[in-house]
Structure 1
Amino acid sequence: MFPLFAYRRKLVVPVAISFATVLLSSCATFSSDGGFEFLEKNARTQLDKQVVWHKSDADQSRIQQYTDALLLQELSVETAVQVALLNNPGLQASFDELGIAEADLVQAGRLGNPGFSFSRLHRGDEIEIDRGIHFNLVRLLTMQQTRKIEQRRFDATRMAILQAIYSLSSETRKAYFNLLATTETLSYTGQVKDAAQAGAELAQRMQKAGNFSQLKQAREQSFYADAELNRQRAALAHSRARENFYRLLGLDMTRISLKLPERLPELPAVLETPAEMQQALSQRLDVQMARSNTDALAHNLGLNKFTRFINVLEIGAVKNSTSQQSNQTGYEISIELPLFDWGTARVAKAEAQYMQAIHRTADVALAARAELRQSYQQYQASYAIAKHYRDEVLPLKKRISDENLLRYNGMLISVFELLSDARSQISSVNASIEASRDFWFAEADWQMSKLGKSSGNSMTTGQNIGSESGDKPVSH
Structure 2
Amino acid sequence: MKIHPFRISAAAPVAAVTFLLAGCASFSPDGGFEAVERLSRERIGHTPTYQRTAEQGVAAGTRVAELLARPLSADGAVEIALLNQRELQAAYAELGIAEADLVRAARPANPTLSFGRLTGSGGVEIERALLFDVLGLFTLPLATELGQQRLQQAQLQAAYETVGVATEARKAFFEALAAQQLLGYYGQVQQAAGASSELARRMQAAGNFNALAQLREQAFHADATLNLARAQQRALAARERLVRALGLSEVQLGFTLPERLPELPAAPAAPQATEQAALDRRLDLLMARRSTEATAQALGLTKATRFINVLQLGYQNKSESGAARSNGYQVELELPLFDFGSARLARAEAVYMQSLHRTAAVAARAGSETREAHAAYRSAYELARQYRDEIVPLRKRISEENLLRYNGMLASVFDLLADAREQIAGVVGAVEAQRDFWIAETELQATLAGRAASGAGPAPAAIATGPAAAH
Residue equivalent to 2:307: 309
What SS is found at the alignment partner of 1:101?
A: helix
Which consecutive unaligned segments of at least 5 residues does structure 2 have? 457-471
Corresponding residue to 2:210 among 199, 207, 213? 213
Q: Note if contact 2:283-2:450 (Cα within 8 Å) is conserved in structure 1.
A: yes
Q: Could you say which structure has the greater relative contact order, defined with CA pairs below 8 angstroms and 6 or more residues apart?
A: 2
Q: Structure 2 matches for 1:58-137, cutoff 5 A?
A: 58-137=55-134
- How far did residue 15 of structure 1 move? 5.1
Percent of aligned pairs with the same residue? 45
- Displacement of 1:328 after TM fit? 4.0
- 1:15–1:285 distance in 2 versus 1, CA, 3 Å: same
Give the conservation status (yes or no) of the 8 Å contact 1:9–1:131: no
CA distance, structure 2, for counterparts of residue 454 and residue 355 of structure 1: 25
Q: 1:445: how far off? A: 1.1
Aligned partner of 1:51 among 41, 48, 53: 48
Structure 1 residues 253 and 204 mapped into 2: Cα distance closer, same or farther (>3 Å)?
Answer: farther
Contact 2:5 2:326 in 1 (8 A): no
Match of 2:412 in 1: 414
Structure 1 residues 78 and 456: CA distance shift in structure 2, 3 A: same
Secondary structure at the counterpart of residue 450 of structure 1? helix
**TM-score, with length taken from structure 2:** 0.90
Instruction: Give the Cα separation in 2 of the matches to 1:152 and 1:91.
Output: 22
Q: CA deviation at 1:229?
A: 0.9
Q: CA deviation at 1:279?
A: 1.1
Q: Summarize the Cα distance change of 1:426–1:404 in structure 2 as closer, same or farther, 3 Å threshold.
A: same
> What is the aligned counterpart of 2:255 among 248, 253, 258?
258
Is the deviation greater in 281-290 or in 7-16? 7-16
**1:343 matched to 2:341:** yes
Distance 1:167 1:156, change over 3 A: same
Alignment deviations for residues 90-130 of structure 1 (CA, whole Å, 9 cap, x no partner):
21111222112111111111222222222221113211122
Contact 1:120–1:129 under 8 Å retained in 2: yes
In structure 2, the partner of 1:463 is none
Q: Report the equivalent of 1:249.
A: 246
Instruction: State whether residues 124 and 320 of structure 2, in contact with CA within 8 Å, keep that contact through their aligned partners in structure 1.
Output: no
Give unmatched runs, 5+ long, in structure 1.
1-5, 459-476
Which digits, 9 at most, give the CA deviation of each residue in 1:202-233, with x for residues without a partner?
A: 22222323333333322221111111111111
Q: Matches of residues 333-412 of structure 1 in structure 2 within 5 Å?
A: 333-412=331-410
Looking at structure 1, the residues matched to 291 and 275 of structure 2 have their Cα atoms a distance apart, in angstroms, of 23
Deviations 1:222-272 (A, max 9, x none): 111111111111111111111121222222355442232111011001221
Counterpart in 2 of 1:466? none
Match of 2:21 among 20, 23, 29: 23
Summarize the Cα distance change of 1:270–1:144 in structure 2 as closer, same or farther, 3 Å threshold. Answer: same
Instruction: Find the aligned partners of 1:167 and 1:25 in 2 and give their Cα distance.
Output: 39
- The one-character-per-residue Cα deviations of 1:341-396 (angstroms, maximum 9, x if unpaired) are 11111111110111111111111111111111111111111000000011111111
Q: Tell me what 2:175 maps to.
A: 178
Aligned residues: 452
Pairing 1:133-172 to 2, within 5 Å after superposition: 133-172=130-169
1:454 is displaced (CA, Å) by: 2.3
Q: Give a deviation string over 1:279-302, Cα, whole Å, max 9, x none.
A: 111111111111100000001111
| Contact in 2 for aligned 1:167/1:455 (Cα 8 Å) | no
